[in-house]
Amino acid sequence: MSEQATPDTAPAPAAAPAAAPAPAPDPAEIALREEVARILGGTATPDDAAGVPAWRVTAAGLSEAARRLRAAGFDYLLFMTAVDRPAEARFELVYLLTRYDDGRQLALVADVPREAPEIDTVSGIWAGANWHERETYDMFGIVFRGHPFLRRILLDEDWPGHPLRKDYVDTLHDVVKRPY
Amino acid sequence: MALNGTDSTADTRAAQWENQDPGSQAPRRGGFVLTQVERVLTWARTNSLWPLTFGTSCCAIEMMSVGASRHDWSRFGFEVARATPRQADLIVVAGTITFKMATRLRLLYSQMPDPKWVLAMGACATSGGPFFYESYAVVKGVDRVLPVDVYLPGCPPRPEALLQSLMQLQEKIRREGSSRPQRPLPPFLFAHTPIDPAKEFNPG
Amino acid sequence: MLPTLGEKGRDAASAYEDYFVNMGPQHPSTHGVLRLVLKLAGETVLGLTPVIGYVHRGIEKMGEAMSVVQFTHLTDRLDYLSAHMNNWAWSLAVEQALGVEVPARAEHIRVIMAELTRISSHQLWWGVLGMDLGAFTPFLYGFRDRERVNDIFEKTCGARLTMNYIRPGGVTQDVEEDFAKDVRAFCDYFEPVIDEYETLVGGNVIFQERTKGIGVLSPELARSLGCTGPTARASGVDYDVRRNRPYGIYPQLAFTVPVLPGGDCWARYLVRIAEMRESLKIIRQALDTMPDGPVRAKLPAALNVPKGRWLGRAEAARGEIAFFLEGNGTAKPWRLKVRSPNFSNLAALPEIAKGNRVADIVAILSTLDVVIPCIDR
């Protein structure tokens, strides 16, 4: 895990998920970073954000990176979701990959433009991605090319808009803002 | 969710309260014999209200606890909890009602035969509960969808509280009589067109 | 073993038109508001599509409008039968983000509460499984014993169901004096009762006929879908967050993770019964080694979530629950994602229900043990 304290934090965020006090670099994490760098090669660049180790790929290169990671033993897609970054006019898609045998985790991050958000599906690689991608489509409006059944999953078919977008405004359903 | 028509929320809420004032209901008529028959029917109905098992979220677990042996509700006559609305007198709305479910809930209510009553169990059914602020998908109180007789706050309410609210409902029925005309539905401006299940089926 | 639809039966079925039937959202055995679109040939299920979202409350969007500590009360209301574990997974994510260390006494209390919740959830599952398959008595027995756990929760946490007790930094308040006595009394009472459960339901020949060989989930499909928890462990997938990716004081506790190869409803049943026994072991060990001390660490005054991706993972009663938190330096999260174990487990249902009868769907859904508000969030 990255040990850099970002300017916004209080001193030294703890590193390991078991709440270890000393932020010493975890040798298992270093080994994971080396292994993933070897698997992905030049197709991905490591992302230096704090928290879960992450690698960035282009939207076009996502399927290849996903295929390589799956072949290397990352058989457990924990989830797949999107983060809306309207200031940078993009959606950041996050694929949280891990392994059943040792639980090591990494995030595969891809950007799609906000105006025409489209990316290839990975539901052929992990069957669980089918429903996760439907949910991401439902909440954000991102289209997954090649998805066998891309429809809304949580909201009604005729729901207007995509609620998790930051610019979602709901005039029909009486949304009350928190006053405190 | 297709919108049927536009209306200001504040006006509809005021209108729905006026329509449901029990004092404005037509007084019971019918002479001595019919009134005695009515009293017997009311006694029978209050002591054997059969609830529809309608639980959407956490309150459903407390409702199940009331159906279990420690806080047994069959002592009060609620023994037969039916899953079909056709055989139920009372719908205990236990849990959050979303816009997607609300239209189906109105359909369920319309399938129940008269006389029928509604108990809003829990904070979500009373007013939207913890989901009142910032939720785009929750109906803020089931009384926007159905005419509620008894409200029960709590998140979730204790089983004893549910028993007390059921007893209050029984008192209310004794007071008002059980053969009252059906209460008007509040205006709920959403509808859904039922889709052919063949189109919703995912063959893949 | 029930006869399955053989070749002759399939030909006969194809002479009829396939028809679609809706099961739910109001249905006694769909465990909440779940709608199943069934494609049937007579009683045989040719295909099944779950339609979810009837209790989608927008919790992820709501999380973007409140602080990380305020959000804890909503985590209870996801899978309310694993309320403590949801709180714990969320607390793990927040503690990573804010750099908070949890005191040892709080870690022990967390484990005891989580394992009690696991037992209570499995008690309810067992009772409802019996009820779904037509026997009402297990429901009463399961709830009778569940009330004892609820009494312990009520004395300590103040609430029976949505406790909101495990919060970032520790737990809200210390346990009361009788806690160890009450919990040990419950463990001593419940251990022989599990044998009673096994004899009453598991030993019943009708139950065995209705669950053996029904709804077989292959380990490859389970891994590919991301299934976790007893559902996956009954298919041979040896994965438990408490052992594979431990948190809290689980590394110091000795327990086995029951795994069975069958993948059918019977295996899922046996795995959960075995898990109840393991949970009792864990609770006793945690009680024996519980230290004194504070139960809540101080959080920073301004709960600013630093930029980065924070992930808290825990083993809920139904699988792995994870909270993904992305901050941007302010007190309100920028994005908050709930990884629901039931979401991934339910995705297995269309595949494993094919070829079975309508009555078997009830058995399969009951042993998959899904809680719909966790799926819908």
The secondary structure of C55-80 as a DSSP string is T---HHHHHTTS-TTTTHHHHHTSSG
User: How many CA atoms are closer than 13 Å to the CA of A153, on its beta-carbon side?
Assistant: 23
Interchain pair C347, A127: CB under 8 A: yes
The pair of structure tokens assigned to C199 is 């004899």
Which of C153, C162, C150, C160 lies closest to C75, judged by CA?
C162
Residues C144 and C37 in one domain: no
| C300 vs C273: CA distance, rounded Å | 42
Closest residue in B to C40 (Cα) is B198
Residue of B nearest to A152 (CA): B200
Instruction: Based on the fold, state whether residues C45 and C174 are members of the same structural domain.
Output: no
Count CA atoms closer than 13 A to A155's CA, side-chain side.
Answer: 23
Is there a contact between A128 and C224 if contact means CB atoms under 8 Å apart?
A: yes
Q: Which of A149, A155, A178 sits opposite B133 (nearest CB)?
A: A178
Task: Tell me whether C350 touches chain B (CB under 8 Å).
Answer: yes
Q: Supply the range of the domain harboring residue B127.
A: 53-177
Query: In terms of CATH architecture, what is A44-145?
Result: 2-Layer Sandwich (3.30)
Mean pLDDT, chain A cut into blocks of 10 residues (180 residues total): 38 40 64 79 80 88 89 90 91 92 86 90 91 93 91 89 90 84
Contact: A21, C306; criterion CB under 8 Å = no
> C277: burial class by Cβ within 10 Å (0-12, 13-18, 19+)?
middle
With CA atoms as reference, the chain A residue closest to C99 would be A13
Please tell me the total number of residues recorded for chain B in this structure: 204
Question: Residue C22 falls within a domain, yes or no?
Answer: yes
Q: What is the pLDDT of residue A18?
A: 43
Amino acid, res. C312: G
- Residue of A165, A77, A1 whose CA lies nearest to C97: A1
Q: Which residues contact B52 (CB under 8 A, 6 or more apart)?
A: B81, B82, B83, B84, B85, B88, B90, B91, B92, B108, B112
Report yes or no on C224 lying in a domain.
yes
Name the pLDDT band for C56 (thresholds 50, 70, 90).
very high
The minimal CB distance from C27 to the residues B58, B83, B202 is found for: B83
Residue C276 and residue C313 in contact, taking contact as beta carbons nearer than 8 Å: no
> What average pLDDT score do residues C159-168 get?
91
Residues C166, C225: one domain? yes
Number of domains in chain C: 2
Assess contact for C305 and C325: CB atoms under 8 A. yes
Pairing of strands A105-113, A54-57: parallel
Beta bridge partners of B152: B121
The string of pLDDT tens digits covering residues C256-268 is 999 999 889 999 9
The number of C-alpha atoms within 13 Å of C348 and in the hemisphere containing its C-beta is 30
Of the candidates C127, C126, C131, C135, the residue with the CA atom closest to the CA atom of residue C29: C131
In the predicted structure, residue C9 carries a pLDDT above the cut 80: no
Q: Which residues of C touch B62 (CB under 8 A)?
A: 160-161
Which has the closest alpha carbon to C80: C59, C101, C66? C59
- Minimal CA separation from A2 to chain B, in Å: 34
CB B152, CB B126: distance < 8 Å: yes
Confidence (pLDDT) at C7: 54
Give me the mean pLDDT over the C269-291 stretch: 93
> Distance (Å, rounded) from C-alpha C168 to C-alpha B80?
44
Indicate whether B127 belongs to any domain.
Answer: yes
C58: left (phi over 0), alpha (psi -120 to 50) or beta: left
Among the listed residues C190, C57, C128, C47, the one whose alpha carbon sits nearest the alpha carbon of residue C368: C128
Interatomic CA distance for residues C29 and C33, integer angstroms? 10
**How confident is the model over C307-316, as pLDDT tens digits?**
889 999 999 9
Q: What are the residue ranges of helices labelled H in C133-253?
A: 137-157, 179-197, 205-211, 219-225, 229-233, 241-244
C28 plus C84 within the same structural domain? no
Q: What is the C-alpha separation between B63 and C122, in angstroms, rounded?
A: 18
Chains in touch with C (3+ beta-carbon pairs under 8 Å) read A, B
- Reported as a pLDDT band with limits 50, 70 and 90, residue C275 is very high
Domain-embedded: residue B200: no
Residues of B with CB under 8 A from a CB of C: 53-58, 60-62, 64-65, 68-70, 83, 85, 95-96, 98, 100-101, 104, 108, 130-131, 133-138, 155-156, 158, 196-198, 200-203
Q: What pLDDT score was predicted for residue B179?
A: 78
The answer, yes or no, to whether residue B27 has pLDDT greater than 70, is no
Residue C1 counted as domain residue:
no
Residues of A in contact with C248 (CB under 8 A): 18
Q: CA C139, CA C116: separation in Å to the nearest integer?
A: 19
Q: Are residues C63 and C47 in the same domain?
A: no
Residue C39: which domain range? 7-51
* pTM of the predicted structure, to 2 decimals: 0.88
Are C51 and B61 within 8 A, CB to CB?
no
Terminal alpha carbon distance of chain A: 35
Distance CA A62, CA A42 (A): 13
Residue C34 and residue C24 in contact, taking contact as beta carbons nearer than 8 Å: yes
User: Can you tell me the mean pLDDT for C107-116?
Assistant: 94
> Positive or negative CA dihedral for C276, C282, C288, C291?
negative
Q: Is residue B162 part of a domain?
A: yes
* Maximum pairwise Cα distance, chain C: 73
The DSSP H or E segment spanning B113 is none
Q: Which residue in the block uniquely carries the two structure tokens 């967050």?
A: C241
Tell me whether B135 touches chain A (CB under 8 Å).
yes
Interface of B with A in 95-134 (CB under 8 A): 99-100, 132-134
- Nearest CB among B98, B108, B155 relative to C57 is that of B98
Q: Kindly report whether the peptide bond that precedes residue C230 is cis, defined as omega within 30 degrees of 0.
A: no
List the structure tokens of C325: 């938190």
Q: At residue C134, does pLDDT exceed 50?
A: yes
Where are the domains positioned within chain A? 44-145
Give the pLDDT confidence score for residue C10 in this predicted structure.
55
The partner residue sitting opposite B201, judged by closest CB among C27, C47, C147, is C47
In the prediction, which pLDDT does B29 show?
A: 55
| Residue tagged 């409802």 (tokens) | C128
Check if C80 contacts B (Cβ < 8 Å): yes
Q: Does A167 touch chain B (CB under 8 A)?
A: no
Q: What's residue C279's pLDDT?
A: 94
What is the average pLDDT across C113-138? 92
When CB atoms are compared, the residue of A18, A78, A163 closest to C226 is A78
Strand C166-167, strand B190-191: pairing: unpaired
User: Tens digit of pLDDT for each residue in C192-232?
Assistant: 999 999 998 888 899 999 999 888 999 999 999 999 999 99
C11 pLDDT more than 60: no
Alpha-carbon distances of B128 from A174, B80, B138, rounded to whole Å = 11, 28, 7
Taking the mean position of all CA atoms in its chain, how far away is CA B79?
18
Length of chain A: 180
Is residue C2 assigned to a domain?
Answer: no
Mark out the alpha helices in chain C (DSSP H runs).
7-14, 59-63, 72-76, 83-98, 104-132, 137-157, 179-197, 205-211, 219-225, 229-233, 241-244, 265-288, 341-346, 349-352, 358-368, 372-376
Residues C34 and C125 placed together within one structural domain of the fold: no
How confident is the model at residue A47, as a pLDDT? 81
Give yes or no: residues C349 and C200 share one domain: yes
Which two three-digit tokens encode residue A131? 């429903």
Q: How far apart are CA C257 and CA B188, in angstroms?
A: 50
Interface of C with A in 254-313 (CB under 8 A): 300, 304, 306-313
SS3 C44: strand
Residues of C in contact with A152 (CB under 8 A): 53
Please name the residue that has the structure tokens 């970073």: A33
